[in-house]
Structure 1
């Protein structure tokens, strides 16, 4: 082969090699492999750290809530920290987390309530990011539980009618009510955090614990009205003598102070308004009583089946449970009068004059209404629909005033659910229906948990 030809072929090959850029891919990949591994590995490492951080947050949240149940103003910082560590260690199961440190602080003041802050920090060794100079990643979380900025005032309005004597209902009610009282005592860190009133009701309520025959907010001019029907007579209601005389063939029996056991009936609207719901300024509202308007006063009645007396708001837990034990079943059912007096017991006006409220705190007012049957009698009627209509209006007014209402229907006879009980509840989760006496305790326990949560600020 001529030398010129060989030379030309060599020169052509060199030219092609010089112009060939295919090898740059390998060179560039070799240069980029390190940061690529760093980014991919970093995503994996951060995913592991994020899982550990999420688990830490959940453990700290639970530990903070548990400490808030235990903490007292007499506990030292070391004792609070020890509890935090113990609770956290039982909940956090991530051995790959290193150098875990948990701290807890507890503060308490009259104006700001109580607060527990639990913080946690840790680090985790990396598998990939150490290649680019990050052998560990630090992470942390914190949880705050506050309580005591909201105070509770709860009225327990409890059916004491004759039907509660069957199927073990009264016994179950007493057990459940006392358990709720214990729950509320636990929720109260200091005296006054939680107040409870107890309002036993039948057709009437008993105010002998706060009144006597000379009490100014009572009225004594109402009596029993009957209409003669030939050989028999029918009850027309508890009303004034003049209203009774407007009924043909009527007779009227006055209420006497002698032998009065403390019972009062529904407040007085005119009989027409009371039956038609055209107006109801007194029996379904909490208009303050006024000596110049007798209809704002509370009618005393000689009622033979008077329930045990109302206990006004108190945080004397023993007295509360003793009152529950004193309840006895007798008489007819008027849920509305129980509701009315439960609402009254929460207000700073006659007849109860509830304890003054501190402007530094929020106040949640709640009524728990338990009954085992339909309404059967109020001041003027034995019609279920008529009495229910009064109660609906009363519940509307109470809810509009900011009262939270829980209702419990005990239906051991498998009757239809009471529409007025579910209507009165502040929401579907505030209404409880049970067909067994045992269900009373379940309902009260759920309500107790709900009320306790209202004490948590964040």
Structure 2
């Protein structure tokens, strides 16, 4: 019977095996080398791809910076690609191992949108061992204008000082051109679904609401308009109504109608009053009416010192708005007060009466006031325009001015004329409409500061979202150290919304920066 035998390993000839091992050792070395190369390529490739991803992150940041720079609304379209390339190159670190410089392309085919595509290729150090000599890197960025509808009220000083020169042109002309350029920039970059709208609120010491708007004005046919007609200016309501947007056509209080502007007849005998009577309280020495197309403010009679440029309510047609701007003139007058301009700027942006062109307040609408003036607030009397009017009397009927007869607050004046010029609030130093008992022209200036600051604060607190205010102080007359500079700086929504323009170039730049801010470019990708 056969039996299983475990092989005797000692009897096996192992020398052929040794020979085999000697024969394959060279192949193993080759294979090991190849495996090592693959291993280095794979592991090192991870380093290469990690580096490439870091470069891509930096390229994306550079593309974002470039698209925002190229999207500045006031930038000419022909310069956008060059600006994008310059900003992109500056933003990319110079030590990256690009095989060739990255390329940047700009797409402006869609209105209100700028697109940038950037691409490049970096060399590998390790992945080339496994066939990857380079890695492509791409980044893209898109910037678009805000879809919020901008409603902008330009509150513009058209007092006589705006005729002064800024370089080779007058302040009023630089203002007009800068305003029109802003409108062009905003409209050029507007989103079709949210068309911009603009209003113009010219002011000196008062505001003209338009002679056709008698529905919210009382006494537009007052007997003192005999021989002429109401020119459209209004007196500001007493007390809390002075800077308020509240309006109730049936109210007789602070939220009621505005009283037609009437400069009362002043004493005609023994003094130097600005707008003299015929010796009574019911008539004037002379009454002058402007011909059509003439905007002179100092016309004797009830409309004396009324700014003749009426408010242009919110209007989407830029041509119509620019046409109204072209008609603006700076006329000699008796002072400047900012408060009526800002208060009516707020009222034209409101959706409620008396002007109703504004959209209801919402996050889809951006309500903006741009207010500009070129000097200190004043009623001019401090400069000696009427040095002896407070000693003058009427030759027939004793002089009397009762603010309540004009819907104003303050004290009654009798017998003698006022030291101050008349304003939309009354004779401030004499009838004391603000109840501060001013004893000097400095006190009057303080009253003007307070009422104007209140107008700014009311506008900024409008509704639930508020009105955004940009302010511009023009010339050294409104420069650092003046009350107007401080007022406008505090009136602005924040420090970045305030501009000081000492010359025409600075004024143009201020409007350009405001336009860029209004368009509000933001990244969408």
Q: Identify the TM-score tier after normalising by the shorter chain.
A: 0.5 to 0.7
Q: Report the CA distance between 1:335 and its aligned residue.
A: 0.3
Match of 1:327 in 2: 328
SS in 1 for 2:243: coil
Task: Return 439-448 or 53-62, whichever deviates more.
Answer: 53-62
SS in 2 for 1:373: coil
Q: Report the CA distance between 1:100 and its aligned residue.
A: 8.1
Structure 2: distance between partners of 1:365 and 1:184: 14
Structure 1: distance between partners of 2:124 and 2:368: 54
Match of 1:367 in 2: 369
CA contact (8 A) 1:192 1:315 kept: no
Change in Cα spacing, 1:455 to 1:263, as seen in structure 2 (3 Å) is farther
Structure 2: distance between partners of 1:447 and 1:185: 13
1:383-420 CA-partner distances (Å, limit 9, x unpaired): 11101111222212211221110111113346723221
Select the structure that is richer in strand. 1
Structure 1: distance between partners of 2:157 and 2:456: 17
Match of 2:159 in 1: 161
Task: Tell me the TM-score normalised to structure 1 length.
Answer: 0.68
CA contact (8 A) 1:49 1:137 kept: no
Match of 2:148 in 1: 150
Q: Equivalent residues in 2 for 1:285-300 (5 A)? A: 285-295=244-254, 296-300=256-260
Q: Report the CA distance between 1:52 and its aligned residue.
A: 5.2
Q: 1:416 aligns with which of 467, 472, 481?
A: 481
SS in 2 for 1:216: helix
Match of 1:404 in 2: 468
Match of 2:3 in 1: none
- Equivalenced residue count is 370
Match of 2:55 in 1: 51
Match of 1:183 in 2: 185
CA contact (8 A) 1:98 1:124 kept: no
Match of 1:205 in 2: 207
SS in 2 for 1:345: helix
Change in Cα spacing, 1:457 to 1:304, as seen in structure 2 (3 Å) is farther
**Is there any run of 5+ residues in structure 1 with no aligned partner, and where?**
1-27, 71-83, 109-113, 224-252, 270-279
Match of 2:516 in 1: 449
Q: 2:238 aligns with which of 257, 264, 268?
A: 268
Structure 2: distance between partners of 1:105 and 1:445: 21
Structure 1: distance between partners of 2:327 and 2:336: 19
Q: Report the CA distance between 1:422 and its aligned residue.
A: 0.9
1:142-180 CA-partner distances (Å, limit 9, x unpaired): 323333521101110000111112232212212211211
CA contact (8 A) 1:60 1:88 kept: no
Structure 2: distance between partners of 1:205 and 1:193: 27
**Is there any run of 5+ residues in structure 2 with no aligned partner, and where?**
1-31, 75-79, 90-96, 263-302, 380-422, 430-443
Change in Cα spacing, 1:49 to 1:209, as seen in structure 2 (3 Å) is farther
Change in Cα spacing, 1:356 to 1:409, as seen in structure 2 (3 Å) is closer
